Every structure is written in C-alpha cells, then in structure tokens.
Amino acid sequence: MTAPSEAQIVEAVTAKLTGSQGKTVPDAELARLLATLELENDWTDVSAKRFHSVLSKNALIDSPPPATEGGASAGAGAAGSKKKKKSKTDAGVPRSFIDANVSIPAGVRAHYFDSVKGKGLVASRSFAEGELVFTEEAYIATPPPEAFDQVSSGELCAQCFLPVSSAPVQLAIKNCGKCKVRFCTSACARTAMATHHTLLCTGLNPAAKPLVQLVQSQKWQSLHCVARSLARLLSTLTPHNNGMGKQSREQDDLIAAYGDFETVHARLSSFATVSELERRSRNPGWATEKASFEGILAEAYTALCNALDPYAESRTSGPHPDPFHVQLDLIDAVKTRKGQIKDLFTYASFLKLLGRANVNMEKFGGLYSVHSFLNHSCAPNVQIRHVPERGILASMKVAALALRPIAKDEELVISYIDPTTRLGRRQLVLYRDYCFGPCTCPKCVQELKEVGLQYDPAKNSVKTFLDSVARKSNPEPHAAAAVDPSLEEELRASLGF
C-alpha cells in the first residue's frame, strides 16, 4: 500500500474524468471516487479532507471544502462531538466501489452509501412478495469444495459444475486434451478457455500443478477463487484472446463477452476487499492456529506466484524458463498494466485477494457482480436461490426473489447468515466472518433494546459492545466467555477451507 503524491491523485482523477461526460467531480461523488481509487491503486493514508483539497487546488471540483472532517457528511452520530472523526477507512472494514460497467438489472439501481457500508442495491420500483428481482450467472465460477475431485476427474463440467453425463447433446462434450477435465457444452469450453483454463490447466501450464494440487488437497475454495480471478484477468493478455488466427470480429466478440484487462481489473477491484489476516485474527482459535496458518499461506502464495505471475523468477530466469501464455508485449502495450500486475502478486495483495474471495463468495462458491452489491440484514427482504438447469440445481446461477412486498427506494438486503439464530451468535459471526458490526438492522435494534443495549460508537468499541451483547443475550450465565463448539466449527468452516 502506498501514500500517493498530489500528482498521482490528479493523474488518477483526470483519467477517471476522461471516460466520463464531465470535467469536474460532483461533491456528492467524492467519497465513492476516493474509495474506487484506493482499491484500484492500493492507496493508503488519503483522508477525505486531503482528497478534497487536492481536487479543489487543481480545479477538479468546484464546491467549497467542508468546514471540518467531522461535519454533516460524517453522519448524525458526529453531531455534538468535538472529537474529529478519522476520515480514512479502517483497515478492518471491507472496502468496495461501484463498477460502472456492471449491468444493473431493471427495477433496481446501484447506490454508494459511504466508505464503511460501501455499495448497495435500491429498488427503483415496487416488488410484490415472491416476485423475481434478478437472475445472474457467476462472474468467477468456482466449484463447491465437495465437487473439486469430480471436476478434476472429468465427472463434472469444469465451468458450470453440472454432471457431464447430463449434457443436452453428448457429441457436444469437450475434453481438454491436456488434462482430465471436461466440459458439457461448447459454450462452457469456450468460456473456460477464455477466462481460466488456458492458465490453470496443468498440461498447458505445468507450473500451475502445485497450486491446483494444494487447492484440491485442502479443499481451499477461496484460494481457488483467487486463482480463477487472476487467471481471468491475465487471460485477457494471452494469444487465445488476442489473435491466434482469429478474425478481427471474433477477437472483438471475445473482448465484448469477457472484457479486456482494464475492464476485468476494475470489476475485480470493485468487490468488497479486506485482508484475510484481519478475518483470521477474529477467529476464536487464532492464537493457536496462527503459526500453522501462516505456513500454509506462504505455501499458497508461492504456488500462486509460480503458477500465474508473469514476472515470477522461475519464469524469467534459468536456462529453461517455464512455458507461459501471457504475452509481455500485451502487458507493455498499456503503461499501467505492468505496475498493476506486479502489485497483484505482492504478499499483501494476496491476503486481500483471499479476504475478497471469502467475504464475497456465494454459499456454493463463485463471485457474482450484482449479487455482491447486496448488503446484510437479519430481517432480509430478498432471498437468493439457485436456478435449476436440466432438472439439476445449478451452483453457478442465482435468482433473487422478494421475501415480502418491497417499496420503491427501499434497499434490497439479504441475510449472510441464518437469521433465526440468537442475537449474540449473529453479531459474533458477522463480526468475525464478514468484518462488520455491530449489525444495526431493525431486528437487531429491537433485540438489543430488549436486553437493554444500544450501540453508541462514541462510548464503546465494536469488540467491547459485542462482548456486552454476548453476556446479555446468552441464556447460560457462564457461557459468554467462551465460544460454543458448534459456533467455532461454523466459523472455521466459513474461513475458506
């Protein structure tokens, strides 16, 4: 992470404005733009006040600067407080931004709330109970851990994860030819080769074998998600997606379908992101797990770099460099690409990529562009279901359905956890697994009130408040100090492997 100079801030903002209609940034868009640039450029220590000052100085914004950092824009909670609020985002808070290239379905609109809550979806019309809000296929498809072995053996399609035997046309089944994986349709094979398999096939890229073996042996879903995310990005720089005998129109179709480097980079960066070590450190067993987990993290990082980093030492030095499909001339064609790729393969970025996968993956796996906008509530108004394909529940296509009547301008929310569990348990899992809290949805506010609690950030830290919630909401007087075995098991299972 780097603290940008004034020139770097101006350059980044100007680049954003070049692709938009205006020449200045609207005041209302400042928070969202700053969050976007922090994620895309891995910036740190850029306060809202400094950002505003730099833009004003360089005539990139024409509104007057805020009187103080803890002014009205900081929210009602800052009223009456003389203590200035830190404007930069806490490192433990997942950060997200809205990618303008995401196709938002009819009936809903994207909305950026603030640097803590991030992005969300709001209804632009009313929905009846049971009405379909949207459907979506995974942007990054990763199989559920229990399906890893079947995918590797060719029993399940390596793209949609449905049984190959269920293929609508048996003649359309495609074998890789370089490894054992198979695809149930030509469309699945085409998508896989354009987005991940060219780089993760152990036959086409032998350096990927240790990474694939680690994912499979550990059933490490989040690592697999990271690998497929980076593979999708780097696949935009391979001969498969850039020529290789293709007609110009076919190449344009590939870019339109799967995006170029800049489009994919922006999409992946827009997902809520937090370091995996921040998540892990909140696990009740972290003190005993730390040493062993850091060891396997180092192993995973090395395997990932050797498999996919175009600048890995094993690939660039020695008498016989490993074969690779990413073309360096395509990286050099745009001056920002090399720096972005090198940043992605630092250890700090690896931890953030793992954290991003874990806080965004749908329960069966996979990253979804629109689904990732949905914020949490223990009293949700939307539920997510998987759409059947060929009479089988598809793991990589979801449908969002209204649980109750939804009014226009109401935020669309889902529950990240089982909302029927007790208050203390819900708050603890959300804090440790999704790095936010305390949850102040209507259900939690009411239940907190019933036990005589109300969250005031000026008086209590999040952890202190959650300890109070655990003590007051736990029916067993001596259970508050410990985490029950079922909860700890659930937390460990949800940490990615």
**pLDDT tens readout for residues 131-183:** 999 999 999 999 999 999 999 999 999 999 999 999 988 888 999 999 999 99
- Contact predicate 134/108, CB 8 Å: yes
pLDDT the model gives residue 452: 94
Per CATH, the number for 108-137+369-412 is 2.170.270.10
**Distance from C-alpha of 153 to C-alpha of 264, rounded to nearest angstrom:** 29
* Percent of the chain residues past pLDDT 70, beyond the cut: 84
> H or E element: which one contains 112?
strand 108-114
Query: Residue 320 — pLDDT band, cuts 50, 70, 90?
Result: low
CA angle, 401 then 404 then 409, to 5° = 85
Instruction: Report pTM.
Output: 0.80
Between residues 75 and 281, the one the model is more confident about: 281
Q: What is the largest CA-CA distance in the chain?
A: 72
What's the confidence (pLDDT) of residue 62? 59
Cα separation of the two ends of the chain: 27
More confident residue, 490 or 253: 253
Q: HEC string of 56-99?
A: HHCCCCCCCCCCCCCCHHHCHHHCCCCCCCCCCCCCCCCECCCC
pLDDT tens, 210-236? 999 999 999 999 999 999 999 999 999
- pLDDT at 73 > cutoff 50: no
In this prediction, residue 91 carries a pLDDT of 66
Average model confidence (pLDDT) across the chain: 85
Listed by start position, the domains of the chain span 6-78, 108-137+369-412, 145-360, 418-494
Q: Provide the pLDDT confidence category of residue 348 given band limits of 50, 70 and 90.
A: very high
